[in-house]
Copies of this chain bind each other. A is one copy, B any other.
Amino acid sequence: MASKTPVGFIGLGNMGNPMAKNLVKHGYPVIAYDVFPEACKEFQDLGAQVTESPADVAEKADRIITMLPSSPNVIEVYTGANGILKKVKKGSLLIDSSTIDPAVSKELAKAVEKMGAVFMDAPVSGGVGAARAANLTFMVGGVEQEFDAAKELLTCMGSNIVYCGEVGTGQAAKICNNMLLAISMIGTAETMNLGIRLGLDPKVLAKILNISSGRCWSSDTYNPVPGVMEGVPSANNYQGGFGTTLMAKDLGLAQISATNTKTPVPLGSQAHQIYRMMCAKGYALKDFSAVFQFLREEETF
């Protein structure tokens, strides 16, 4: 195990923390950095080397994973005054697992390439639980010859590593999936609500949809109506799961990509607006299936 070469990890938040721990578990010496020093303490105790800046990480490791909240953070970590690019070594492999605008991934890839290194985007699906269980799905974009090298690391943290195509397509796949997910979740919520209003038992309606052409993951695996399924957020007052504010963020990325490529996304765009309105009405931290609750009429006056 001691013979493994170090891996840099930048961004030790809710998701980055368990991901980096899984690298440690697999015997990789981890070179850690987070903008909040307290996020690193735990890793010091685990034997990781904690550094002062992304540039320091780049000096000490030639494989680096970044897991950050949004585009500006990623840009800062790469191109800032003490950013990775200040000290990145030739031949380094830089993997960004943040969910950001694919256009930003492409720009970073160009800057990294100029330094003689390789950039891949590898956003994840699956939440904190999947991160802990090393059960994430990684959608990977970048040069195909480097995919195996990336996969070696990503398999420590995920169970499903999918090659999507050139740089940026990992992000594209992620935001496409989440846009369709948002659409079908809202669709399921309004359909179930309408059916209930028309006299259908929600369990009966879910059963019919799930053997018919209306079937989707939101209806058969993550039904938003309380009482229809066990073990999903709708069974637990929409606690846990995937927060409405995070879904709104991903829909914002989809919208920006669609606008920039002049792609009509009439329902994706409306889904974005609905999740934004929900954030404005107190649903930001509830699971995104709470759209059922948002749409459900309570016209009591």
Which one of A28-36, A51-59, A224-232, A252-260 contacts B? Answer: A252-260
Protomer copies: 4
How far apart are the CA atoms of A139 and B183 in the complex, in Å?
A: 26
B199 and A169: CB pair below 8 A?
A: yes
Residue interface mask A266-301, B partner, CB < 8 A = 1: 111111111011011110110000000011111101
B268 and A190: CB pair below 8 A?
A: yes
| Cβ-based interface call for A219 (8 A) | yes
| Cβ-based interface call for A155 (8 A) | no
CB-contact partner of A255 in B198, B255, B301, under 8 A: B255
Which residues 155-170 of A have a CB within 8 angstroms of B? 160, 162, 164-166, 168-169
Which one of A37-45, A143-151, A172-180 contacts B? Answer: A172-180
Chain B residues in 8 Å Cβ range of A216: 180, 184, 215-217
Which one of A83-91, A108-116, A205-213 contacts B? Answer: A205-213
Chain B residues in 8 Å Cβ range of A299: 245, 262, 279-280, 284
| Cβ-based interface call for A78 (8 A) | no
**A residues in contact (CB < 8 Å) with B:** 102, 125, 137, 139, 160, 162, 164-166, 168-169, 171-173, 176-181, 183-184, 186-188, 190-195, 197-201, 204-205, 208-209, 211-219, 221-222, 245, 248, 252, 254-274, 276-277, 279-282, 284-285, 294-299, 301
Listed by A's residue number, 12 A-B pairs whose Cβ atoms lie within 8 Å are A176-B200, A179-B214, A190-B266, A190-B268, A193-B263, A197-B258, A255-B259, A255-B269, A256-B256, A262-B297, A280-B296, A280-B299
